[in-house]
């Protein structure tokens, strides 16, 4: 229970704000159901928009959260063990919201069952739905193991098994999601063998960033005591995975530039400086790449917990920017690039109904629904933190030398913003 009156007021205000955003998103979805997908910015050229790229982003967050949790059990990484329960919670919440984010993209959600009734098992789509469902059930089962009253020896055995299954499941989840893009032969920007490993590394990166951000917020608003070793492990994991992620993307870009295949260059040119989607290039490589990498590798900066949290935010921005590049820019060039082009599927007086290059701008409907999805993640994590005793699991470890606490529970070195 939240006992302090001022804390309780802030807590209830937070819940009310999130509930309002959820209601607004629900209203926007009803509007979309009434007026159809024409209420969105998606058209026949770019038929995947904010919903699908957000789906892939949320899947990354979920896979990364479980990888962090499972690594603590499987590899015995002491600095990550206090984060296991929080990691599993974020994994369960994010994969659930990832599934929900598909619904507004369907247009006719009442036909969702057709995917299972008429399952096409040679398609990665049905495999992705299957692994998402199994992954969610696994995360819920692991949360139950961590929260239920049982002998500690039995709990430890169960968590070992769950972590041993969860780690490959997280890799499978992201590999299958990546193959939805990577196996599209007709889309040159997607059809690369690097897609699956890139998605896996990006999942570790974004999931670790999300856990770090949540941890920093809890440290600020709930006087949570976080060990310096935990921050060191998180910052180190983010630094390594960020460097590998950027290397994979750079390798993909260099291959396209070196080969000089026109259809590949045409897509990449829209992302590079001077292209129509260059904003996301700068967001990925500078805002979400170079700046947080410097924060995480320079000794004078990586000790500051505030900069670790800032790096987490920038990394999430960069990963989301890559999803925009992948989905939107990947579909911007129609498969038939001959005049008059591809029909937009709409008619606007005075404007051409055909396009040789696609353009996409999300509407207020899509943006409102996205805010609602983010609010749903925040709401479920907030409730999970309160009712699943997450704080106790985060503070149960005995602080080591250099991370000692004052008698009133206040942080000494960590409160000054140092991860050491």
Q: Is residue 409 in some structural domain?
A: no
148-170: per-residue pLDDT in tens? 787 878 877 887 788 788 888 88
Average pLDDT, the chain: 83
> Which of the residue ranges 133-142, 201-210, 409-418 would you say has the lowest mean pLDDT?
409-418
| In a domain? residue 82 | yes
Residue 44 lies in a domain: yes
Q: 62 lies in a domain? A: yes
Which has more confidence, 400 or 47? Answer: 47
What is the span of the domain harbouring residue 387? 17-399
Domain annotation covers residue 416: no
Contact yes or no for 46/358 (Cβ under 8 A): yes
Q: Which of 316, 329, 247 is nearest to 283 (CA)?
A: 316
CATH code of the domain in which 258 resides: 1.20.1630.10
Condensed to tens digits (0 to 9), the pLDDT of residues 374-409 reads: 999 999 999 998 888 887 777 654 444 444 333 233
**Global confidence as pTM:** 0.86
Burial class (CB in 10 A: 0-12, 13-18, 19+), 149: exposed
The residues, any chain, with a CB within 8 Å of residue 360's CB and separated by 6 or more, are 41, 42, 43, 46, 49, 328, 332
Whether 415 maps to a domain, the answer reads: no
- pLDDT of 302 higher than 90: no
What pLDDT, on a 0 to 100 scale, did the predictor assign at position 411?
44
What's residue 95's pLDDT? Answer: 93
State how many domains the chain has: 1
* Residue 404 covered by a domain: no
The answer to whether position 74 is within a domain reads yes
pLDDT 10s digits, 244-288:
999 999 998 898 888 777 777 877 888 888 888 889 999 999 999
């Amino acid at each position: 229970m939240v006992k302090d009156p001022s804390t309780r007021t802030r807590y209830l205000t937070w819940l009310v704000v999130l509930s309002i955003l959820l209601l607004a998103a629900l209203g926007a979805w009803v509007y979309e159901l009434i007026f159809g997908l024409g209420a969105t910015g998606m058209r026949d050229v770019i038929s995947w928009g904010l919903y699908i790229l957000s789906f892939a982003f949320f899947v990354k967050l979920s896979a990364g959260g479980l990888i962090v949790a499972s690594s603590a059990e499987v590899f015995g990484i002491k600095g990550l063990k206090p984060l296991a329960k929080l990691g599993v919670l974020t994994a369960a919440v994010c994969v659930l919201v990832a599934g929900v984010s598909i619904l507004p993209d369907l247009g006719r959600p009442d036909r969702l069952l057709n995917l299972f009734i008429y399952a096409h098992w040679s398609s990665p789509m049905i495999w992705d739905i299957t692994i998402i469902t199994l992954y969610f059930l696994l995360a819920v089962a692991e949360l139950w193991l961590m929260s239920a009253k049982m002998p500690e020896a039995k709990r430890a055995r169960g968590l070992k098994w769950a972590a041993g299954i969860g780690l490959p499941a997280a890799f499978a989840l992201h590999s299958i999601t990546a193959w939805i893009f990577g196996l599209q032969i007709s889309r040159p920007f997607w059809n690369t063998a690097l897609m699956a490993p890139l998605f896996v590394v990006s999942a570790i990166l974004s999931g670790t960033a999300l856990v770090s951000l949540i941890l920093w917020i809890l440290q600020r608003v709930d006087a949570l005591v976080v060990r310096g070793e935990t921050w060191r492990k998180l910052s180190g994991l983010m630094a390594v995975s960020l460097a590998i992620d950027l290397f994979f993307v750079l390798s993909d870009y260099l291959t396209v530039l070196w080969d000089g295949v026109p259809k590949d260059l045409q897509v990449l040119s829209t992302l590079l400086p001077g292209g129509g989607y260059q904003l996301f290039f700068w967001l990925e490589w500078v805002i979400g790449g170079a700046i947080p990498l410097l924060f995480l590798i320079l000794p004078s900066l990586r000790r500051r917990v505030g900069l670790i949290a800032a790096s987490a935010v920038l990394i999430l921005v960069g990963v989301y920017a890559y999803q925009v590049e992948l989905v939107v820019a990947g579909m911007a060039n129609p498969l038939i690039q001959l005049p008059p082009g591809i029909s937009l599927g709409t008619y606007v007086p005075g404007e051409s109904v055909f396009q040789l290059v696609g353009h996409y701008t999300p509407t207020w409907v899509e943006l409102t629904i996205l805010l609602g999805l983010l609010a749903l993640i925040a709401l479920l994590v907030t409730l999970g933190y309160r009712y699943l005793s997450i704080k106790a699991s985060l503070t149960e470890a005995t602080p080591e030398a250099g991370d000692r606490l004052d008698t009133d529970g206040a942080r000494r070195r960590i409160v000054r913003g140092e991860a050491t």
